[in-house]
């Protein structure tokens, strides 16, 4: 099936998700060949939810562009970028479908950092589908980059709303991350996310990272995959503190995180590494 906007035609592919408010499909923008995600409201009553999401994604992009422009005067190298816009979907288009589709709202989304949507991996797939777990150093860049996205959102008064493993996508080889579904996000009117909410969102993020490490927050256990036991303990202790709600400021937590890991491991690119999952540790 093809769906046409004022500018493009989208060929609708496989259904990849649904809830009470919308259904999500893979799609291709025929004129460009770009892979996209097509989100269509479940019914006309749900149009408002997709309208709000479209507005939110536009606002996030506007703030990301503004931060990037401000950073130009401060960067030390011409290729330095903040790349906040990598952390959330790009809203390609938002429009009403045809009468035959009940004039339902349609949002077309893509990723700014890749057209290879199928290569984006939810953290949940690593454990549940591939039966693997990431090693500690791989989890460092995963957590660090997701904390950066959460801190950016909170700075602009946006509560992310969903930080489960299934909603945290990575492009492993390029070390890129995206929080995909922002439909539960809230824009706080005073431009400030409540401290209790910040605390819970950081905790939820930490629990997801502990999950992809095949750890257990309740038992405060993460499998040992390094001979550097002290390094392991220092890092996992931070994770458990984050999961336990120690921080109520995402920027402060992000800063403290990098102070810690910069002293534990040498700087530089660490390739994405997974290890066989020991089911007894799940």
Report percent pLDDT > 90 for the chain.
Answer: 74
Instruction: Indicate whether 204 and 135 sit together in one domain.
Output: yes
Q: Read off the pLDDT band of 7 (50, 70, 90).
A: very high
Instruction: Indicate whether 146 and 91 sit together in one domain.
Output: no
Cβ atoms 272, 173 nearer than 8 A: yes
Instruction: Indicate whether 113 and 142 sit together in one domain.
Output: no
pLDDT tens column, 177-221: 999 999 999 999 888 999 999 999 999 999 999 999 999 988 888
**Rounded CA gap, 223 and 275, in Å?**
11
Find residue 109's DSSP bridge partners: 37, 91
- The H or E element that residue 253 is part of is helix 250-262
Q: Give me the pLDDT at residue 200, please.
A: 98
Question: By C-alpha distance, which of 113, 167, 132, 127 is closest to 273?
Answer: 132
Q: Give me the pLDDT at residue 230, please.
A: 57
Token pair belonging to 98: 């045809």
Q: How many domains does the chain have?
A: 2
Instruction: Indicate whether 20 and 98 sit together in one domain.
Output: yes
Pick from 58-72, 76-90, 119-133, 267-281: least confident? 267-281
Instruction: Indicate whether 265 and 197 sit together in one domain.
Output: yes
Q: Give me the pLDDT at residue 227, please.
A: 53
Could you give the residue ranges of the DSSP H alpha helices within 9-105? 47-71
- Domain termination site, one of 97, 117, 137: 117
Instruction: Indicate whether 205 and 65 sit together in one domain.
Output: no
pLDDT tens column, 49-92: 999 999 999 999 999 999 999 998 888 888 888 999 999 999 99
User: Range of 152's domain?
Assistant: 120-281
CB contact set of 195 (below 8 Å; sequence gap of 6+): 248, 249
Give the dihedral of Cα atoms 42, 159, 70, 142; nearest 10 deg. Answer: -90
């Amino acid at each position: 099936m093809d769906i046409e906007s004022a500018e493009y035609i989208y060929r609708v592919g496989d259904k990849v998700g649904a809830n009470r408010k919308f259904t999500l499909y893979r799609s291709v923008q025929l004129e460009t060949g770009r892979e996209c995600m097509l989100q269509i409201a479940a019914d006309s009553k749900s149009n408002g939810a997709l309208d709000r999401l479209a507005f939110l994604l536009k606002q996030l992009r506007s703030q990301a562009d503004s931060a990037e422009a401000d950073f130009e005067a401060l960067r030390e190298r011409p290729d330095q970028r903040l790349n906040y816009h990598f952390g959330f979907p790009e809203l390609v288009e938002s429009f009403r479908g045809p009468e035959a589709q009940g004039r339902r709202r349609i949002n077309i989304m893509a990723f700014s950092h890749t057209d290879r949507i199928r290569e984006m991996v939810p953290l949940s797939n690593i454990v549940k589908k591939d039966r693997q777990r990431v090693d500690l150093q791989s989890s460092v860049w995963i957590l660090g980059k997701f904390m950066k996205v959460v801190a950016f959102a909170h700075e602009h008064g946006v509560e992310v709303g969903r930080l489960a493993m299934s909603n945290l996508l990575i492009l492993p080889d390029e070390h890129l991350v995206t929080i995909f579904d922002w439909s539960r996000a809230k824009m706080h009117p005073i431009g400030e996310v409540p401290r209790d909410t910040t605390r819970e969102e950081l905790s939820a993020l930490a629990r997801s990272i502990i999950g992809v490490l095949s750890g257990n927050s309740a038992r405060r256990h993460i499998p040992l995959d390094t001979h550097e036991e002290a390094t392991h303990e220092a890092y996992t202790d931070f994770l458990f503190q984050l999961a336990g709600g120690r921080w109520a400021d995402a920027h402060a937590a992000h800063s403290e995180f990098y102070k810690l890991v910069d002293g534990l491991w040498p700087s530089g690119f660490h390739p994405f590494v997974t290890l066989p999952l020991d089911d007894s540790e799940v």
